[in-house]
Structure 1
Amino acid sequence: MRTTSRHGVNSDGNESVQSILRDIMFATEYNINRLSNNNRELSLYKEHVESYMSKADKVQVVAPAPSKMDRIAEMVGHSVNEKYHVRVPVGIKTKGCGAYKRLKSKQKEAIGKVGKKSRQCQNCL
């Protein structure tokens, strides 16, 4: 798991990198404390740091952000090489268009049969 210190430094790197980062932070804090009373020297130090920041931006390689599918595949541990096509199922009716399937009690069935005429052809009416 990747953790970050209060200075924004990743704490999962190797020890030599961590040592160098600590030295840089100490030196930067030391220089700022020493130059805080001298406005001219402090502004020169600021310009030096900003020029080095632009140099660092040019050196840093910016990779495109991974897609959502790639991030999920990484979490699950499954590569996304295959393309699956999901098709609409054939013969499935949508909600509300099915037959009326309420179960009737025996009493309701008996009442329904008494008042209902049986089906007959047109000649027998």
Structure 2
Amino acid sequence: MAKKLVEKAKALQCGIALENLKGICKRMEKTVRKAQRRQHSSWSFYQLRQFIQYKADLAGIPVMLVDPKNTSRTCIQCGYVAKENRSLRDNFCCRACGYVDLADKLAAENIRRDAVN
């Protein structure tokens, strides 16, 4: 996956922006049900980030880390931030302006925007 991502960035002549997920396992203890913690804690975010960074360095592709706070709760149209914007797991609906999108797509756009700024 890291190889494909870096190849795509190189072909598009752009950088790669990732959420800085340092400390995610500690935060997960507060937000994930106990029965699901083992499955979630087995994800190797750091290892994937290291693979991406290594391959990007070899290819001369910049990697930027952004703060993950509210990336899927912030409206890309009006900037309104609220937990209620994500009433459903996969969908985003801004309570201020009514903008609707897929939550993951919206989060990716916010990550891109934060990396550029």
TM-score, normalised by the number of residues in structure 1? 0.25
Bigger proportion of residues as strand: 2
Rg: which structure is higher? 1
